[in-house]
Structures are given as C-alpha cells and as structure tokens.
Structure 1
Amino acid sequence: MRFCFPRLREAIRQAALLVVPALLCACTGKDPYNPGTSLGTFTVEAQRKTATCGELESPPDPWRFEVRLAQDGRTLYWLQGGLPVSGTLDDAQRTQMKSSDTKTVREANRGQAACGVRREDQLDAALTAKEGANGKLEVSSFVGTLRYRFVPTEGSDCQDVVALGGYAELPCEVALELRGTPKAK
C-alpha cells in the first residue's frame, strides 16, 4: 500500500525552492538571482516588429518595462524576475542571450496527445557604454531585438489550442525592437 501526502509533498517542494538558492549562495558566496556587479536599472521601450502568435501571446505595442543589468567580466546579465539570463560581450559591447522554457498547454486526453509548447527567447543587444573604474561598464543606453518563438514539442497535438484562439498559429514568433535608457532616479 502506498500512502500519498500531497500537502506534505508540496510543502517539501516549496521549501526546496527556498533552500536551494540559499545553499548555492552559502556555498559559492554568490547570490544566483543577483550575479555580478550592478550596472543599474533601465527603462525599456519595445516596439513590435512581427507578431504571428495572435494578441493573447503578444505584449502591448509599445511595451514598457524595467530590467536590471549586471556585469561580471565580459558576462552581461539581464535580470527581470526569475533567474538571470546571460551572454558574453564582444569588443563592440554586443551580446546575444538565449533561454527557453517548456509548458504543457493541454494535458493528453482520450485519443489526443498533449499540447506542449516550448518558448525560445533570444535577445540581441548592443550597449552604448564606456569602461569605468575596475572594468565596470558605464552604460548610457542599449538597443536590440527581442524574439519570443513558440514551437510545439515533439509529438504534441495543438490543433485544438490554435482553433480555440490560444495561438493564431504554431510555430509562431513575436519580435520586438528595444531601446533601454537608465531609469530616472
């Protein structure tokens, strides 16, 4: 006989989500959510270039948000909510950052495979910056392109999700032109 304690299991999972970052910080001396040296908070204005996913999966146009940038050597960090995304700066202060996440949009049911969608994010950015003390960049602005691509996972059946308006089509993409400036204090 197998006993199932879903509340206990959920409590343990929640505790692990809090403890693991704390252990990483304690073992490495670094906060995984705030790596490197802060370069400041930036106000970003994004203008939509393409949007083939439909309005439900597209941000407003224009879209305004804030992001924090940080640096560790030639590594640039984009901090916005969860774990940071990073890329390596070249000599012209350009970088490319990529991340992805997979979600089950609809579970499998009798006679129909699940609908899983992988979101692939790519940021191509160029900083306007000069090197300050100790190699820290002094960023006056940045420009770039941010792409969100939504792709069904292998073996997925997402026809009903598209038909019901969850997406206009799959795969699909949203591309935005970005301009970031230091947040006014």
Structure 2
Amino acid sequence: MKLKNAMLSLSVCALLFSTSCKDEAKETEQEMEMTEEVVEMEVEEELTEIPTIAGVAMSNDSFSTLVAGVKAADLAETLNSEGPFTVFAPTNDAFAKLPAGALDNLLKPENKEMLKSVLTYHVVAGKFDAAAVMTAIEENNNAFVIKTVQGETLTAMMKDGKVMLKDANGNTSTVVMTDVEASNGLIHAIDTVVMPKK
C-alpha cells in the first residue's frame, strides 16, 4: 500500500513537473514573441521617422533648386540640426522668377556668403505653424514682423485670405503650402524668393 501511494505521489509530481515545464516553455515562447513584436515595432518606427527639414526638402522635387543652394552654401548641417526652425522655402518656380543669371551667380563659389545670407533670410528660429502665424498677423494689425536667422526681418500679412511675406526691399511672396512637418521644425512653401537688403 505504501509503495502504491509512493508511486502515485511520484506520478502526480511527474505530471505536475511536466505541466509546469510545458507552462514555462509556453510563457518563454510568448515572451520571445512579444519581444520580437516590440523590436519589429521599434524598427518600423525608425523607418517611418520624420526626416529633418533638409531631408524633407531633398525628398521633394519642388525644392530641388533650394537643395542645390543649401548644399552650395554649406547649410545642410544647420538644417539637419536640432532646431526647431520654420523655413519659408521657395519652390523651383520661385527661383525661376529671379532675373536671368541671378541664380547662377548666387551659386558661384565666390558668392557663397551672399547665397548663405539669402537662404538664411528664409529661416526663422522656432516652430510656427500656419495657425500661429495667422494669429500673430491678426494680433499685430495685419503686419507681423518676423526676425530671420540672417538677422533682417520679414513682415507677414494677410491678403485675400492668403499669408503674404514682405521682404526688406518691399517685394512680396505668397505662402502656397503650409505645415510640412519635419523632425526639427516646419516648412511653408512660398512662390517667390524673398531678398534681404544686405
């Protein structure tokens, strides 16, 4: 009888141990699957991570002339930095409006500082979406003065429901696309290159 009981006890123990091992193996398998899922999600997040302002511009054919200018002026590193920045980015059509030969002249190595001045005149420190710009315009009697990274100012105003920028020379540009997200700021596309005085 004692032997029978001992055998029964051993059988129960073996069954419990076997079930416990199976449960542990199942838990380990589930944990591994969960870990794989987390790693996959992290990889996907990295792949879908928003690029910097420079990266966004480089991936958009409408800004290829601007990108050429940014590279010639050695500003790619600045537009890849932490920021945040708001860039009023001239489209290719905006650059095409410049007087004949003006762009080629700006892209010459000897005119690098002038090019840098023109391009940084389109950059503002801080992140200002379209709604914030429009609110600022309203609060400043339709003349919101913006200090650029270049040092001079632009004046933002509303005309016929559109945001316009007036440069230091009195010329205007219209914002044609707003709130293009980048990891270090925002891009608003404009239809005319704005020019500083200096």
User: Do the structures match in fold with TM over 0.5?
Assistant: no
Which structure is higher in strand share? 1
Normalising by structure 2, we get a TM-score of 0.29
Normalising by structure 1, we get a TM-score of 0.30
